[in-house]
Amino acid sequence: MPIYNPPLDDIRFVLNEVLKAGALAREIPDYAEADWDTVGGMLEAVSEFARDVAFPLNQSGDKEQCTYNPADKSVKTPKGFDEAYQQYAALGLIGMSADPAYGGMGMPQYLNVAASEMLTAANFSLSSYPGLTGGAYKALHKFASDDLKDIYLPKMLSGEWSGTMCLTEPQAGSDLGLIRTKAVPQNDGSHAITGSKIFITCGEHDLTRNICHLVLARLPDAPEGVKGISLFVVPKFLPDANGEPGARNPAFCTGIEHKMGINASSTCSMSFEGAKGWLVGEPHKGMKAMFMMMNDARLKVGMQGLGLSEIAWQNAATYASERVQGKALKDFNNPDAKSVAIINHASVRRHLMDMKAQIDGFRALAYDVAIRLDLAAKHPEPTVRRDAEEYAGLMTPILKSCLSDLSCTVAQRGIQLHGGMGFINETGVNQYYRDSIIATIYEGTNDIQAMDFTFRKVLDFNDHMNRLGLFMAPLTEQVEAAKSNPATAEAAKVMEEGIKIFQNTCTAFMQLGMAGKLDEIHAQADHFLNMTGRLAVGSMWLKMVDAANEGLAALPENDGKAAFYRNKLALSDHYFTHIMRPDMKRMELLVAAGAAFLGNISREQQVPGPELGIAKSESKPDNRGHGPFFTF
């Protein structure tokens, strides 16, 4: 049977000792009550819910799945999900970081990030139901009229109503400019919404009394492309005079997808048949609001990757400690030697160290970005808000892409370490791999994250130096300081090498861009994103080394926590020596080789054809859409 123990010690270490998150309570008046004692209590509450309520439903939910009833177009969630969701809502966790004016707790956003990690690790499917409500809340809170906010936000934050994102259509996945859903103005100020949407996470379910769909559609006078898209809130039930669910709105689920993973999360096709909807924000400006939801969702997807990586690692490490198989190499020729647990085999230890060093490093980076978002939202100084927002924007595609990729790698290696027991369903660990794949695809495939990072965030000829400087300037200062510290001097050398590779790559990409050779850049964008991620995580490990040494120095002799800090130091050494240094050099070679390849070969020669024995398919492609903007 699988296990999950929320990594509270690791989370506390990062937030309190490394990132000094408690300082927000002193710097930002709105977070005055978010002292470390309060934050710690909330982390405990989330961890208990994740471990004791959500996790026991993970395997059973995956097996039972959601079921669709075509008679009334309803969806039933697996046994126990309703009670678990109601308990989660009763704890106030849906509105933990939301505006108190609408029933939220007003706590920092970094608490939401920690909650997302633990809840996703415990039960990815269950976490999807309240997860999208948070993004819908943010869009409505920022762009909706006061009347709409008064109607919808309190119910959403209490958990009585939930929210969705309705973007993708059969012909419009990555290219939302192709959407066809129509919105026709009505005399009462509403709009009649007509169209079909697909891949809608939690578009229909039985956990809440109402579901509030945020729908992209076109007004009759809309210009072509994304500049003609507006956003509407379309409830399942129309709110009555008392703000309670009233008449049924013709917004129906027409079926659910049968998927590789997240089987207990309802992935719906939706039909809007003249359903009443209300404009959110300005006409033809829907993408602005939707991008707010999208950025929030992409960070949450990163946390899904982190949570799945953590639980896959925990189960792999536990199994490796218990599974006895093979003699230690030093005793290979000793006929009397006994077999040992496989964690004693060097390759197994390396795999586990690879996993953990990246999990811990990316956790620190993710929580750091969450704190930047808190600064961007609430800090009294405008320049601090601006810089924090720019830095968070730069790091968001890295977190989404790198962490979702990491979850696939860790889950696959976890299965490998379980051997045959990992391949069968009984142990439950193959579910983490099946669930992890979707995180690399939705809210923007990882290739599209690389495009966004490279072309929009870095190679933006208008302001790329400022945005990149927010990352590189403090990083360079940090590495210079680390060189003079014996505890970090070797790591600083690795970071210096990495910075040089990164700077050379930036220069080469800029030169290619100015020469109009965008394909050469595009083909290597994923390596460039991963290269930046390695540097960013290296920065976090330098900070964690300092914090671990401070923690060791403050401990009394023979304190049991010393092993925790020493483990962090060992993981840091492993990251810089066995992960960062070889990966940076490998990616440097890949970028150079890839650019040279594309520069010396025609497009026709790059595409495999009949001469390689690849037959042309006679079947029609499935045109239901995929890409950066659809959501499950």
Say whether pLDDT at 173 is over 90: no
Looking at residue 595, what is its pLDDT?
61
Which residues contact residue 104 at a Cβ distance below 8 angstroms, ignoring those fewer than 6 apart? 95, 96, 97, 98, 157
Looking at residue 220, what is its pLDDT?
95
Scan for tokens 């690399």, then name that residue.
440
Looking at residue 631, what is its pLDDT?
28
Query: Is residue 172 very low, low, confident or very high in pLDDT (cuts 50, 70, 90)?
Result: low
- Between 335 and 60, whose confidence is greater? 60
| Lowest mean pLDDT, pick from 7-11, 27-31, 250-254 | 27-31
Taking the model in full, what pTM does it have? 0.93
CA angle 274, 278, 280 (to 5 degrees): 135
What 3-state DSSP class applies to 593? helix
The beta strand positions in 73-158, using DSSP E, are 74-76
What is the mean pLDDT of the segment spanning 190-212?
96
The conformational region for residue 225 under phi > 0 = left, psi -120 to 50 = alpha, else beta, is left
CATH fold of 296-326+339-441: Butyryl-CoA Dehydrogenase, subunit A; domain 3 (1.20.140)
What is the mean pLDDT of the segment spanning 86-99?
95
Is 443 labeled as catalytic in the residue annotation? yes
Looking at residue 128, what is its pLDDT?
95
CA distances from 279 to 216, 230, 250, 341, 519 (A): 10, 7, 17, 61, 39
- Give dist(CA 88, CA 95) in Å, integer: 11
Looking at residue 632, what is its pLDDT?
24
Q: Which amino acid is at 266?
A: S
Q: Which helix (H) or strand (E) holds 232?
A: strand 230-235
Q: What is the mean pLDDT of the chain?
A: 90
- Give dist(CA 57, CA 44) in Å, integer: 20
With CA atoms as reference, report the closest residue to 546 among 568, 562, 578, 563.
Answer: 568
Do 385 and 379 touch, CB atoms closer than 8 A? yes
| Lowest mean pLDDT, pick from 72-76, 150-154, 293-297, 442-446 | 293-297
- Give dist(CA 363, CA 404) in Å, integer: 13
Q: Which two tokens stand for residue 270?
A: 């939706």
Count of CA atoms in the C-beta half-sphere (13 A) of 627? 18
Looking at residue 461, what is its pLDDT?
54
Percentage of the chain modeled with pLDDT above 70: 92
- Between 178 and 567, whose confidence is greater? 567
Of the residues 117, 169, 390, 443, only one is catalytic, namely 443
Do 265 and 442 touch, CB atoms closer than 8 A? no
| pLDDT tens digits along 374-424 | 999 999 999 999 999 999 999 999 999 999 999 999 999 999 999 999 999
What is the mean pLDDT of the segment spanning 546-563?
92
Query: Is residue 606 very low, low, confident or very high in pLDDT (cuts 50, 70, 90)?
Result: low
- List the domain boundaries for the chain: 296-326+339-441, 464-602
| pLDDT tens digits along 10-57 | 999 999 999 999 999 999 999 998 999 999 999 999 999 999 999 999
Say whether pLDDT at 426 is over 80: yes
| Lowest mean pLDDT, pick from 256-265, 466-475, 620-629 | 620-629
- Give dist(CA 81, CA 54) in Å, integer: 8
What is the mean pLDDT of the segment spanning 541-568?
94
Q: Which two tokens stand for residue 305?
A: 């990757």
What is the mean pLDDT of the segment spanning 70-82?
97
With CA atoms as reference, report the closest residue to 272 among 202, 192, 154.
Answer: 192
Say whether pLDDT at 467 is over 90: no
